[in-house]
Amino acid sequence: MSTIRSCSSSRCVRSPAPAASLCRRPRKRSQNETSSPSRSAVRTCCATSARPSARTGFSRFCSAPRSERFEERHRCPAYYRSRLVKRLLLILLLAGCATAPRPEAFDSAKLDQIDGAINQAIAAKKIPGGVLWIERDGAVYHRAYGKRAIEPRIETMTEDTIFDLASITKVVATAPSIWILIERGKVSLDEPAKTYLPEIADATITVRHLMTHTSGLRASLDLHDAWSGYAEGVRRALAEKPRNRPGVIFRYSDINYILLGEIVRRVSGEPLEEFARKNIFEPLAMHDTRFWPNGSERVAPTEHMHDDPLDPAPPVLRAVVHDPTARRMGGVAGHAGLFSTAEDLAKFARTVMRGEFFPRAMTEDATPRGIAVRRCAGFDLDSQYSRPRGEHFPIGASFGHTGWTGGFFWIDPVSHTFYIFLSNRVHPDGKGSVIALQQQLGTLVAESIKGLTWPPQHPRVDVVTGGANTQNGVDALESDAYEELRGMRIGLITNQSGIDHAGNPTIDVLRSASGVNVVALFSPEHGIRGDVDAKVADDVDPVSGLPIYSLYGDRRKPAREQLANLDALVFDVQDIGTRFYTYIATMGLAMEAAADAKIKFIVLDRVNPIGGDAVEGPMLDGETEFTAFHALPIRHGMTVGELARMFKEERAIDVDLSVVPLREWMRTQWQDDAGLPWVNTSPNMRSLEAAALYPGIGLLERAISVGRGTNDTPFTIIGAPYIDALRLTRELRGIRAGVSFSPVYFTPASSVFAGKLCGGVRIAITDRSLLHPVDLGVTIATTLARLYPAQFKLDELQPLLRDRATLDAVRKGEKPVWNVDEFLKRREKFLLY
């Protein structure tokens, strides 16, 4: 997706910019002066207001065609450094000047609220202090708050304080360095990382996967054993094997950026700290930005160093990186280790916001298809970590990042605004938090800008307030310190969809939990990694060494001998709310096995991704089987925890059942409304939109192609060799079903009509409130039966439909009637939410 670069009237209304002028910059406060809360803190920086003059002085570089710019920038290192650095320094010299004051740039009352929010966080001991920088079109509001240090002595916060940036290192040093190498033609975004790192354990991981946190690698390196040194850290990172197939899920991982930092070193021939200094920090005059900071008296201390568990009085870290992995690696790593000031970061943010120096692609969506979380190859666009965006800055067009130690920033090119807040929230005991403050400041900063009108955001933000606080069962379990599982030997039924809110696999979460002993793993259909579309064999987990017993091979339920040494079976798999999706059958059969073995069965509940309020379709007619495990309508509107309660009673399964429930979820919420990331639940279930259409489009998959074996998202396209795409589109466009149709031709590589050109339609959801997927699927079937009675095999719907009355109605061209009232009464007693 292209980043929006201009401000349209539909998004915001900008005040006219004043004419540029040059004047002396106000005197900088010394570190011993306290900052004043007065509105005099508002000043104007001519960096943006004087943009025409700056661009004139920089015209040959910035205005030249991209190919010429590339040649000039990379003609040779000496040329690059001399010409480019001089011109950038000219811009920054102009940026240091100020125009006449613009008191109308910011809303004074909103600035008061911003000050109040920060001071309230200080009073609540969430942070000891911090430094704020807000800038829009050259108007700047900046000040310091609270204390820089509390221990071992109290120090007042000053604006020139140097902070440990933690993970902000990723987007200020590492990702920009990679992008510079990409522009020089030395690195390619979609090249396997193995090209640059031959020792890497998985050859399918690309540079894009590493930069967007979609490599499948776990969150961080193991620190349980004593190791040290940069080379050893890199060796361990290279040896890591993905927990999920690369390109399938988003999991924030420091290991990704450790590897990227090593790519910079190997490709450029210089350590990351040297390459970033020469190519980023010096050209942008970021004089206080470095991995090993100078002037330790200005550095904000962080936490007591707990590296030696026998030390009764561990020292407070100061001018030494807080991140333990980076510290073991000597203070320099691709994921953490950089120190900087708010003013230096403002120089970086200003340059990025204008699209200068760095390629514009650095701020565009780079996430692999099928992953709901949106990331640039570096910056965060739209994920569970996007709290600094607040309620107004546009989704997908604005971007930023956070750091563990308490810093965060957000850049919005649409409104020409960015803000930075740096703090040492981990000082002195690691108990501080800026999570609430991130959301508050993002919202208030946007509201402080005069002359802007903010429209409502995308519906997924507005549907339910507080939705991002929803916790799946595994998250609730973590919050309760794993009390439900403490002291147990467990078998875990899971796959790639079993992750916590941070993207950590439930396997790793439970294995690292104190008092929990994971003995065996069990995999449902598609295997433990969700990448197999056939029978699945038993296996061994390459990371943990645990046995993996397949529940989609020669057997569909755990064998008694596999449960002999267990106290409980734990189920953590994401269902998609459709009767014929087999994960709920796996759960029911495993409950029966647990009952036979007289062990406990525990369900870590997960949201129904397409909501829990809508119920639709015919009830199961006839005998149960693996794709029709229980008497349910096709779209049942229940969570797996609620279904487990129903199965126990209605199927008379005498099992000791426990459900770890969701927290802060409402039945009307879809998965994205709840702020939870989408994970491909199976090889062909690649998006929430596909899951929403599946209850109806899935009915057709034995009769026509539903997009399996295509690069498009399956279940959003349908077709067959005999279908006239334009004719079918015209026929279906009269349906008012919350969807739109467009003609498409495609050739599936597998499944029905493999290798044959198919005409059909692409389906896009336009209004969720009007969407009735089962009715949609049946209506499409009725249309195809009418248009192509000889070719369309209507009886192929019955194995999944399992209702003869509906099939007869379709054959007659009539609309079927479904009555779910009895089911709604049945399910009421089992609902948890």
CATH H superfamily, domain 469-677: Uncharacterised protein PF07075, DUF1343 (3.40.50.12170)
pLDDT in tens, 189-199: 999 999 999 99
CA dist 472 and 76 (Å) reads: 54
CA dist 498 and 273 (Å) reads: 37
pLDDT interval class at 37 (50, 70, 90): very low
Least confident of 101-105, 170-174, 250-254, 353-357: 101-105
Residue 13 has pLDDT above 50, yes or no: no
Residue 655 near residue 591, CB atoms below 8 Å: yes
Write b or e for each residue in 756-787: b if 16 or more Cβ atoms lie within 10 A of its Cβ, otherwise e.
eebbbbbbebeebeebbbbbbbbbbbbbbbee
Least confident of 50-59, 82-91, 524-533, 680-689: 50-59
Predicted local confidence at residue 712, as pLDDT:
67
pLDDT interval class at 83 (50, 70, 90): very low
Residue 611 near residue 670, CB atoms below 8 Å: yes
* Domain chopping of the chain, boundaries: 161-454, 469-677, 688-802
Name which of 533, 493, 529, 535 is nearest 510 in CA terms: 493
**Which is higher by pLDDT, 396 or 333?**
333
Q: For 691, what's the count of Cα atoms within 13 Å in the CB-facing half-sphere? A: 26
Q: What's this model's pTM, rounded to 2 decimal places?
A: 0.56
Kindly list the distances between the CA atom of residue 532 and the CA atoms of 495, 524, 717, 800, in Å, as whole numbers in the listed order. Answer: 11, 10, 22, 21
Mean pLDDT, residues 768-795: 96
Q: Has domain 688-802 been given CATH number 3.40.630.30?
A: no
Kindly list the distances between the CA atom of residue 281 and the CA atoms of 176, 268, 360, in Å, as whole numbers in the listed order. Answer: 11, 16, 19
Predicted local confidence at residue 206, as pLDDT:
97
CA dist 37 and 122 (Å) reads: 15
CATH class of 161-454: alpha beta
**Which is higher by pLDDT, 402 or 733?**
402
Mean pLDDT, residues 748-774: 93
Predicted local confidence at residue 306, as pLDDT:
67
Instruction: Give the count of beta carbons closer than 10 Å to the beta carbon of residue 56.
Output: 11
DSSP state of 224: S
Percentage of the chain with pLDDT > 70?
A: 84
pLDDT in tens, 164-187: 999 999 999 999 999 999 999 999
Least confident of 12-16, 42-46, 694-698: 12-16
Predicted local confidence at residue 531, as pLDDT:
62
Predicted local confidence at residue 710, as pLDDT:
86
pLDDT interval class at 17 (50, 70, 90): very low
Residue 789 has pLDDT above 80, yes or no: yes
Mean pLDDT, residues 287-298: 89
Predicted local confidence at residue 373, as pLDDT:
82
Q: Which residues pair with 773 in a beta bridge?
A: none
3-state DSSP assignment of residue 538: coil
pLDDT in tens, 632-659: 999 999 999 999 999 999 999 999 999 9
Residue 27 has pLDDT above 50, yes or no: no
Predicted local confidence at residue 308, as pLDDT:
64
Predicted local confidence at residue 5, as pLDDT:
28
pLDDT interval class at 46 (50, 70, 90): very low
Predicted local confidence at residue 245, as pLDDT:
82
Residue 9 has pLDDT above 70, yes or no: no
Predicted local confidence at residue 324, as pLDDT:
94
Residue 492 has pLDDT above 70, yes or no: yes
Predicted local confidence at residue 44, as pLDDT:
42
Predicted local confidence at residue 224, as pLDDT:
82
CA dist 71 and 76 (Å) reads: 9
Percentage of the chain with pLDDT > 90?
A: 70
Angle at 788 between CA 783 and CA 790, to 5 degrees: 135
Mean pLDDT, residues 719-729: 97
Predicted local confidence at residue 532, as pLDDT:
66
**Which is higher by pLDDT, 138 or 269?**
269
pLDDT in tens, 661-676: 999 899 999 998 888 8
Residue 398 near residue 414, CB atoms below 8 Å: yes
Q: Where are the alpha helices (DSSP H) in 292-360?
A: 324-328, 342-353
Mean pLDDT, residues 212-241: 94
Residue 84 has pLDDT above 70, yes or no: no
Predicted local confidence at residue 307, as pLDDT:
62
Residue 241 has pLDDT above 90, yes or no: yes
Predicted local confidence at residue 295, as pLDDT:
66
Residue 705 near residue 697, CB atoms below 8 Å: no
Predicted local confidence at residue 469, as pLDDT:
72
Q: What is the mean pLDDT of the chain?
A: 85
Name which of 176, 669, 168 is nearest 438 in CA terms: 168
pLDDT in tens, 433-467: 999 999 999 999 999 999 887 765 433 322 232 33
Name which of 621, 591, 613, 619 is nearest 603 in CA terms: 591
Counted residue by residue, the chain has a size of 833
Residue 756 has pLDDT above 90, yes or no: yes
SS (H, E, C) 745-777: EECCCCCCCCCCCEEEEEEEECCHHHCCHHHHH
The angle that helices 773-787 and 804-812 make with each other, rounded to 10 degrees, is 50
CA dist 679 and 496 (Å) reads: 8
CA dist 133 and 468 (Å) reads: 27
Angle at 508 between CA 503 and CA 514, to 5 degrees: 120
Mean pLDDT, residues 423-438: 94
